[in-house]
Every structure is written in C-alpha cells, then in structure tokens.
C-alpha cells in the first residue's frame, strides 16, 4: 500500500526514456506525452477527414452541424483579429490548435486510476503513464516554440528580411537607440512563447493535481467533489484551448503589421 506522497508522485511522474545521460535529463523523451499527443493528433485528422468526405449540403446531420459551428467560430475569430491580409494558413492552423489542445486537455477528465488499473491488469503495477499531454511543460513549450517561429516567419513575409531587421533594431526608440531596441524586441519575442506555454501548462497541471487529490478521498466523497469539479473543468479545458488559439492569431497579426 503506497503512502499519499508516493501515490501523488507516481501519478505525476512521466514514462521517461533516456536517450543519453542520466534519467530525467535533457536528452530524454516522455513517451506518454509524445504518444498521447500523436494519437490525439490522428484522432483530430480522422474526425475531420471523415466529416469532410461525408459532408452534405442538404439535410446535414447534427454532428456535421456541430463541427461546422466550431469552424465558423474559428473563422470568425480569425476575421476579427487577423489583419495581415488573406491567408490560406491562419484558419486551418487556428482550427488545428484549438481542436488538438482541446483533445489534449480533455484527457484530464479520464478517471485518475484508470491507467493504474490497466497497468495492474497487464501485470506491471509500477508502470507510469500520464494521459494529459498539455500538463507536461515540454509539450506546451514545443507548441509555443512553433508559434514563435511562425511569428518570425510571418514578420519576414510581410516586411521582407530587410524591413523586419530594420524594425527589429529601430523600434520603439529609433535607430540611434539600437542596443536598447534589440533588448526590448528580444524580450517581446521571448515572452510570447513563454506566456503561451506556461499559461496552458499551469492550468492543466493544477487541474490534474486537484483530480489526484480528490482520488485520495474516501470513495463516497470522491463523487461529491469530483463531479462538480469535472463539470467546472470542462470550462477550463475549452477556455485554455480557445486562449491559446486566440493569442496565436493575435501574435501572427501583430507580426504582419507595420509600426
């Protein structure tokens, strides 16, 4: 029988495979985060591919209408926020970000001990597996770093290499304050992916931890607290996916605007 601390540590420990160096070091990979992210990415692609092939103009079913509602919502957000002209990438990118992160966050609603039960049935009760990819700071940073490179790419596309570099060294205080401008520009670039990643990670990690603490209570108390928290957490799950998507659109729009 494990102690409370051992129970919490077990549930918050990743299935980590060392590529080089010591366990848990930089050259290692969280198999659970990578596998769940990849699986949920394929789930998203499968659902939308299937819906696209079976879409009907006349008498669409309720599932098609639901996903059309999501697509319209994302398209409207892009229309309202993105001012960099027409782009064939922004809407699909925003839709992918919202749906993929939502599916990752949704894994937080799985029963805490479901993975443990599967491990016991497989004869390996000590195996570790975290099912919520967005509760891993490595996953959220990877997504935000991708947005970081998109910000630079869209800035260069809109202004050209020369224009982007000139803005980098001359804004906001003019060309004669170049060192100070570079410091401010670097701070702005770096804080965007950091804020994106830590906001998503912090909310999902906290939610996962609350579910673990509820699972430590007697079984008759778990439903009393777990169900209201799960219902409230659905709002957090959706809101965090929406915020990540909206901020991505905002950052890409800012990258293409001239000061």
Residues with catalytic annotation? 195, 199, 203
Q: Using CA atoms, how far apart are residues 83 and 77, in angstroms rounded to an integer?
A: 11
List 28's β-bridge partners, or say none.
18
Paired tokens of 161 = 């290499």
Q: Using CA atoms, how far apart are residues 204 and 200, in angstroms rounded to an integer?
A: 6
Q: What is the dihedral of CA 39, 44, 46, 50, to 10 degrees?
A: 160
Q: Tell which residue, 209, 36, 225, has the closest CA to residue 132.
A: 36
Q: Using CA atoms, how far apart are residues 178 and 161, in angstroms rounded to an integer?
A: 17
List 29's β-bridge partners, or say none.
17
């Amino acid at each position: 029988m494990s102690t409370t601390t051992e129970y919490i540590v077990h549930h918050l420990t990743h299935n980590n495979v060392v590529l080089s160096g010591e366990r848990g070091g930089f050259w290692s990979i969280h198999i659970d985060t990578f596998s769940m992210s990849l699986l949920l990415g394929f789930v998203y692609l499968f659902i939308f591919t299937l819906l696209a092939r079976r879409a009907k103009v006349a008498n669409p079913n309720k599932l098609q209408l639901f996903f059309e509602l999501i697509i319209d919502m994302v398209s409207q957000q892009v229309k309202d926020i993105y001012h960099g002209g027409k782009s064939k990438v922004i809407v699909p990118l925003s839709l992918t970000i919202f749906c993929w992160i939502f599916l990752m966050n949704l894994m937080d609603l799985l029963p805490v001990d479901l993975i443990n039960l599967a491990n016991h049935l497989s004869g390996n009760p000590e195996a570790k597996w975290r099912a919520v990819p967005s509760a891993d700071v490595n996953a959220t940073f990877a997504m935000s770093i991708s947005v970081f490179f998109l910000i630079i790419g869209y800035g260069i596309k809109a202004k050209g290499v020369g224009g982007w570099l000139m803005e980098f060294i001359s804004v906001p205080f003019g060309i004669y304050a170049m060192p100070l401008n570079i410091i401010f520009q670097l701070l702005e670039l770096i804080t965007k992916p950091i804020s994106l990643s830590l906001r998503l990670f912090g909310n999902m990690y906290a939610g996962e931890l609350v579910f673990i603490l509820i699972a430590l209570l007697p079984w008759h108390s778990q439903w009393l607290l777990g169900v209201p928290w799960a219902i409230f957490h659905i709002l957090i799950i959706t809101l965090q996916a929406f915020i990540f998507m909206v901020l991505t659109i905002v950052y890409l729009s800012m990258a293409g605007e001239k000061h």
